[in-house]
């Protein structure tokens, strides 16, 4: 109960006047906007990582592993999700799994 009262303290300017509530009201007000921008940021970050990962897989398959078709990673939903969640280490993981399977 004491924590709630600490969150609802008044902000006082130099002349002793009460100017605004701070704490819980500001937390609620900024929390709604912060959650939306955070969700947008996470989504955009996922899409950018997935696009870079898919481009990297395409580049590696097309230009670096032209003669070895056994190590080509497919451009599919699994590779999209792996590269979107893990980024470039996810792409390395996909190639590592294929390399391990072909030993």
The secondary structure of residue 66, as a DSSP letter, is S
What pLDDT, in 10s, does the model give residues 1-21? 444 444 445 555 556 555 555
Q: Dig out the tokens for 30 from the structure.
A: 């900024």
Q: How far apart are CA 22 and CA 37, in angstroms?
A: 22
What pLDDT, in 10s, does the model give residues 42-82? 999 999 999 999 999 999 999 998 887 888 999 999 999 99
53 within 8 A of 82, measured Cβ to Cβ: yes
CA dihedral (47, 51, 54, 56) positive or negative:
negative
Q: Is the whole model's pTM more than 0.85, yes or no?
A: no
58 within 8 A of 75, measured Cβ to Cβ: yes
């Amino acid at each position: 109960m004491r924590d709630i009262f600490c969150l609802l303290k008044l902000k006082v300017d130099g002349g002793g006047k009460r100017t605004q509530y701070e704490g819980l009201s500001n937390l609620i007000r900024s929390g709604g906007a912060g959650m939306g921008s955070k969700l947008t940021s996470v989504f955009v970050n996922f899409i950018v990582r997935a696009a870079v990962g898919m481009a990297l897989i395409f580049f590696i398959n097309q230009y670096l592993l032209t003669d070895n078709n056994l190590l080509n990673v497919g451009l599919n939903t699994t590779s999209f999700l792996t590269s979107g969640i893990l980024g470039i280490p996810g792409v390395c993981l996909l190639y590592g799994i294929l390399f391990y399977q072909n030993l």
